[in-house]
Amino acid sequence: MFTEALWILAAGWLAFSFLKNREKTKNALGFSWKLFRGMALPVLLTVWAIGLLLAFLTPQVIARTIGPESGAWGVLAAAVLGSVVLIPAFIAFPLAGAILNQGASISAVAAFVTTLVMVGILTAPLEAKFFGWRFTLWRNGLSFVFALAIAFMMGRIL
C-alpha cells in the first residue's frame, strides 16, 4: 500500500512538474538517472549476495546460534548474525519470538533484533558509495557497540 502511494505521488508530482517547467523536469530526471546509474550494479550484487548467504543462514541455523544452548557467547554471536543477515520484519520478528519462547536469553534476542535493523554488513559497500567508507564504518561500528549495550541493559531490566 505504501509502495502504491509512492508511485502515485511520484507520477502526480512529475506530471505537475512537466506542465509547470520542462527545464526543471529534465534536470530532475537527470538527477534520478544519475542516482540510478550509481546504484544499479551495487544493488544487484548486494541482492545476489543476500540470496547466497540466506541459503546457508536458514531460520534453523539462526535459532541454533541464538538459542538457549548458545551460552555466554550467544549475545555476541547474535549481534554478529544480526549484522550479517538482512531479513524483512515480518519474518524476523516471528523468528525472534520463537527463539525467545524456546528459552533464549532476552539479551541475545535483543542484540539480534537491534543489529538486524541498525547494522548492515551486506549493504555497507552501497552505503560507502553514497557517504564514504569513513562515515559507513563509524556509523555501523558505533551502532554495533550500542546494540550490545542495549542488549545487556535489557537483559538486566527485564
Partner 1 sequence: MPGVLLGLVIGTFILFVLDRGKGISAMLMAKRYLVEMLFILPPILVLLGLFESWVPKTWVEKAMGPGSGARGAAVSVLVGTAAMGPLYAAFPVGLALLKKGASVFNLCVFLCAWASIKIPMILFEVKFLGAEFAILRLALTIPSIIIISGLLKTFRMNITGIQRS
Residues 58 to 87 in contact with partner 1, rule: CB under 8 A: 86
Give the nearest distance from C-beta 72 to partner 1 in angstroms. 21
Q: How many CA atoms lie within 13 A of 137 on its CB side?
A: 3
x-or-dash pattern for partner 1, window 115-134, by CB under 8 A?
A: --xx-x--x-xxxxxxxxxx
Determine the 3-state secondary structure of 10 from DSSP. helix
109 contacts partner 1 (rule: CB under 8 A): yes
Q: Which is nearer to partner 1, 80 or 82 (CB)?
A: 82
28 contacts partner 1 (rule: CB under 8 A): yes
Instruction: Kindly tell me which residue out of 22, 41, 71, 73 binds partner 1, with binding defined by CB under 8 A.
Output: 41
Assess contact for 68 and 99: CB atoms under 8 A: no
Give the nearest distance from C-beta 36 to partner 1 in angstroms. 5
153 contacts partner 1 (rule: CB under 8 A): yes
148 contacts partner 1 (rule: CB under 8 A): no
AA identity, residue 101? N
Q: How many CA atoms lie within 13 A of 147 on its CB side?
A: 28
Q: Give 56's contacts (C-beta < 8 A, 6+ positions apart).
A: none
* Measured distance CA(118)–CA(78) in Å, rounded: 14
113 contacts partner 1 (rule: CB under 8 A): yes
Assess contact for 152 and 72: CB atoms under 8 A: no
Instruction: Kindly tell me which residue out of 22, 64, 68, 93 binds partner 1, with binding defined by CB under 8 A.
Output: 93
Segment contacting partner 1 by CB under 8 A, of 21-29, 66-74, 75-83: 21-29
